[in-house]
Structure 1
């Protein structure tokens, strides 16, 4: 097995501590079977309904755990973060719970519904940066200048421990799970969940999913070093952006683990949108808050359909795929 840097990925004990902190703040999200997708691709497909969290994605888990771990003095000084939207909503929501000032830097093209949501929670929003990577640069500079905590959307032991609580819940809700598909982006959810699954369920197959337009991680893992990745308009805006060396380490660790792989981006925007219309756009479950929470999980749905032939060899009792993502839910009106 690959050696994972303990300075980057949390210990299971830290994830359990995060789960304890979250218990009174955030109930476990539901795990539901998608009859439509299960019938369509011939394997049992379950979805973790992270869209039912207060901000519509898993991001609030890590943000809350970060704020919970700060001292009163640190919280009083405030926090700063950069975000494509969902992380910003999570930070703003957690900051409001702790009565902590929060400054969010988001790209100018971030969905207006996300920017409005962040402001409605009491945080200050700066949307002058042309893309996410530029927003991150100014956010880090702000934190250094003011001497306050910068909350990275994808890195930090306390942040990843919060995201890893998703895996603890999945293992409790579906002990026989065989494959978990995780939206990748900068690797925060992948790293947090991967750390838990590696320790507690090493036979579970972990598949990191990206679209063609957001394949910074898979491209860099294949190259063996960080590859510059352009910021282009994409339906999966929550997965867009560059990665750094620490994020690359997360991706490499997942790819090298015995039961893990990183699925290279094979879904274009049009195919992602088509999958959303087929399996998430009908029935009761749709992208939350005008699509704010649906972006990353659309890639998971597309990869599930495209990966049919690679999962059919499993026995019927153990063919489970869990889309652990922020929230495209394939549930028909009849369910």
Structure 2
């Protein structure tokens, strides 16, 4: 494999530097063996519990690294970001830690628990946009008007370096891992982890998982060019949105395979995880488990590591899923 594009994907050294920043706010996330999935597949399955991080997802890693890398003057001016919710929580958390003003643009359909959480951390929330992509347009315009840093939820070397710390931890916790399932939207986690895995463990099979309603990356990689997808309601709201050429490159270089799960499979997996582990998992975090439970991925060897990221699901939605599945 040729070298990765250093203008899109971070170096391992950059990820290690990000890890030093991340360690100031959180320890490595837990990696736990799931007996039921291991028995079902006949190989060891381990869950990387990113939902236990501050703000409830992996997003806080990249956001904190971005703020840590800004100059004092840049922090004083403030930051702006667009988000389906979890990136906004991460940015708000990091901004509070660095006493930086933060403005977050989120779609009006974002879960209330995410919008409330962002506001509770002291950031301003604008939820006038119809969808995630419209929120990004507003956020970029705000950044240009006020000459402040726009923090992309899925791209940027400093952001991806922060997300890549998940892979550094995983390789230390489970050095024999053979397959990694990564929840995939715009490619932030796939790119950060992929940059590390391609360099330090190129034998590891990397699988990105999306829902059928958030499949911009999958459709684009399969077509070999960026494909625009229709915005539709989904349990995996954290994975929604279009992608661009940089994200396409991430999908092409960092994923050995991309698979899709249905809304019903996500809903069943959210309910199953809650009943069997007590975990409260949002749709974007449950897609990886859904891929295993419903046969979308059937590895012949293990151990398998599964990223579970996102606990920010509205109680009413969880209750409905528990009553349905």
Q: Is TM > 0.5 for Structure 1 vs Structure 2?
A: yes
TM (norm. structure 1) is 0.90
Listed one character per residue, the Cα deviations across residues 29-61 of structure 1 (whole Å, up to 9, x for unaligned) are 110001121112222111111111110000000
Deviation of residue 2 (structure 1)?
A: 4.7
Counterpart of 1:32 in 2: which secondary structure?
A: strand
Deviation of residue 284 (structure 1)?
A: 4.0
Kept in 2: contact 1:65–1:159 (CA 8 A): yes
Q: In structure 1, what is the Cα distance between the partners aligned to 2:279 and 2:21? A: 29
Kept in 1: contact 2:50–2:309 (CA 8 A): yes
TM-aligned CA distance change 1:220 to 1:160, over 3 Å: same
Within 5 Å, give how 1:103-252 maps onto structure 2: 103-252=103-252
Unaligned runs of 5+ in 1: 329-335
Q: In structure 2, what is the Cα distance between the partners aligned to 1:84 and 1:23? A: 25
Q: In structure 1, what is the Cα distance between the partners aligned to 2:310 and 2:140? A: 28
TM (norm. structure 2) is 0.93
Q: In structure 1, what is the Cα distance between the partners aligned to 2:293 and 2:122? A: 40
Q: In structure 1, what is the Cα distance between the partners aligned to 2:296 and 2:35? A: 15
Q: Equivalent residue for 2:258?
A: 262
Kept in 1: contact 2:267–2:283 (CA 8 A): no
Q: Equivalent residue for 1:300?
A: 288
Kept in 2: contact 1:167–1:197 (CA 8 A): yes
Kept in 2: contact 1:231–1:241 (CA 8 A): yes
Q: In structure 1, what is the Cα distance between the partners aligned to 2:12 and 2:180? A: 18
Q: Equivalent residue for 1:332?
A: none
Kept in 2: contact 1:275–1:301 (CA 8 A): yes
Q: In structure 1, what is the Cα distance between the partners aligned to 2:236 and 2:40? A: 23
Q: Equivalent residue for 1:14?
A: 14
Listed one character per residue, the Cα deviations across residues 127-152 of structure 1 (whole Å, up to 9, x for unaligned) are 00000000000100100111000000
Q: In structure 2, what is the Cα distance between the partners aligned to 1:284 and 1:262? A: 26
Counterpart of 1:210 in 2: which secondary structure?
A: strand
Q: Equivalent residue for 1:285?
A: 278
Unaligned runs of 5+ in 2: 312-325
Listed one character per residue, the Cα deviations across residues 4-23 of structure 1 (whole Å, up to 9, x for unaligned) are 32101000000000001111
Moved over 6 A (4+): none
Cα RMSD, aligned residues only: 1.4
Q: Equivalent residue for 2:303?
A: 320
Deviation of residue 262 (structure 1)?
A: 2.2
Kept in 1: contact 2:41–2:298 (CA 8 A): no
Listed one character per residue, the Cα deviations across residues 251-283 of structure 1 (whole Å, up to 9, x for unaligned) are 01124xxxx2222x2x211121112222x0214
Q: In structure 2, what is the Cα distance between the partners aligned to 1:302 and 1:53? A: 21
Of residues 303-312 and 117-126 in structure 1, the stretch that sits farther from structure 2 once superposed is: 303-312
